[in-house]
């Protein structure tokens, strides 16, 4: 194991190297809605972000299991980080010849951390999604009215997702400030995302219970003001 100072220096070099590389993502830049958050993290020597998505609506053409008909760009019929109108989707669907699926994919962020020795990647994601099959073998299976209804929901989720990013940013900022003043490690308060302690009637040590799905239960709860509504997952180093 490396001496702490060596470890810190090595992390710093690694971070500099990674952040200096070209952004190889489809878009080639960080999403507008997470720029501040990414900057907040990258300004701290103990973190750097490896990938992120602010949340997006995507329309994909694939087979019935969600596997793409072809892996080239043609399977992406539409990608947008902004609210979306019916006509955009109707137009994009005309290009579908397989089974098109509309998804809302919420905010996700991967952060490399210096201080978590055994869990160096932090994934931050919201579970507020949608996954809706729309066409089968190129044939539209829903009405235009349904697409409008669905986009209303997707756009509302995008709006809610934006609020969650803001709340997460604020939580993180406070945690970083506390860390600076008290030298205690950064900890984001997460109320509803504990994998098995989210039901009040259960004690944290509760043994095996079937069908306790944190994500689902969270959907049923109203958001509390101090809960960013975003899940934080730690990945082990070699994951």
Report the residue number, 145 or 182, with the smaller CB distance to its own copies. 145
Q: Of 4-12, 82-90, 150-158, 163-171, which part binds its own copies (CB under 8 A)?
A: 150-158
Residues 79-108 that bind its own copies (CB under 8 A): 79, 103, 105, 108
Fill in the DSSP letter of residue 68. B
In sequence order, the 6+-apart residues with CB closer than 8 A to the CB of 198 are 192, 212, 214, 217, 218
Which one of residues 6, 131, 224, 226 is an interface residue with its own copies (CB under 8 A)? Answer: 131
- Write the burial class of residue 47 (CB in 10 Å: 0-12 exposed, 13-18 middle, 19+ buried): buried
**How far is residue 216's CA from residue 128's CA, in Å, rounded to a whole number?**
10
Q: Strand 135-136 and strand 139-140: pairing?
A: antiparallel
Residues 190-229 that bind its own copies (CB under 8 A): 190, 193-196, 201-202, 205-213, 215-216, 219-222
The closest alpha carbon to 166, from 29, 51, 33, belongs to: 33
Residues 155-174 that bind its own copies (CB under 8 A): 156-157, 160
Residues 2-41 that bind its own copies (CB under 8 A): 14, 17-21, 23-31, 38
Which one of residues 43, 64, 85, 90 is an interface residue with its own copies (CB under 8 A)? Answer: 64
Q: How far is the CB of 177 from its own copies (least distance, A)?
A: 21
150 binds its own copies (CB under 8 A): yes
**How far is residue 65's CA from residue 54's CA, in Å, rounded to a whole number?**
26
Quick check: 226 and 168 in contact, CB under 8 A?
no
Size of the site for its own copies (CB under 8 A): 92
Q: Strand 135-136 and strand 76-80: pairing?
A: unpaired
Q: Compute the chain's Rg from CA coordinates.
A: 20
Residues 107-126 that bind its own copies (CB under 8 A): 108, 110, 116-119, 121, 123
Which one of residues 58, 80, 88, 167 is an interface residue with its own copies (CB under 8 A)? Answer: 58
57 binds its own copies (CB under 8 A): no
């Amino acid at each position: 194991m490396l001496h702490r100072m060596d470890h810190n220096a090595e992390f710093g070099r690694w971070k500099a190297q990674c952040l200096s590389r070209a952004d190889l993502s489809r878009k080639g830049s960080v999403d507008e809605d997470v720029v501040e958050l990414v900057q907040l993290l990258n300004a701290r020597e103990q973190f750097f972000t490896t990938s992120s998505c602010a949340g997006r609506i995507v329309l994909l053409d694939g087979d019935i299991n969600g596997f793409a008909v072809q892996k080239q760009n043609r399977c992406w019929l539409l990608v947008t980080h902004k609210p979306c109108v019916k006509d955009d989707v109707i137009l994009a669907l005309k290009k579908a010849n397989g089974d098109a699926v509309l998804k809302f994919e919420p905010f996700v962020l991967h952060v490399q951390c210096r201080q978590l020795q055994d869990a160096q990647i932090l994934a931050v994601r919201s579970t507020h999604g949608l996954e809706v099959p729309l066409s089968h073998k190129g044939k539209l299976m829903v009405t235009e009215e349904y697409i409008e209804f669905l986009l209303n929901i997707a756009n509302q989720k995008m709006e809610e997702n934006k609020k969650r990013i803001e709340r997460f940013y604020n939580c993180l900022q406070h945690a970083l400030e506390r860390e600076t003043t008290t030298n205690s490690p950064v900890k984001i308060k997460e109320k509803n995302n504990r994998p098995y302690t989210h039901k009040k009637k259960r004690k944290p040590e509760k043994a095996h219970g079937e069908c306790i799905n944190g994500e689902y239960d969270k959907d049923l709860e109203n958001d509390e003001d101090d809960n960013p509504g975003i899940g934080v997952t730690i990945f082990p180093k070699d994951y």
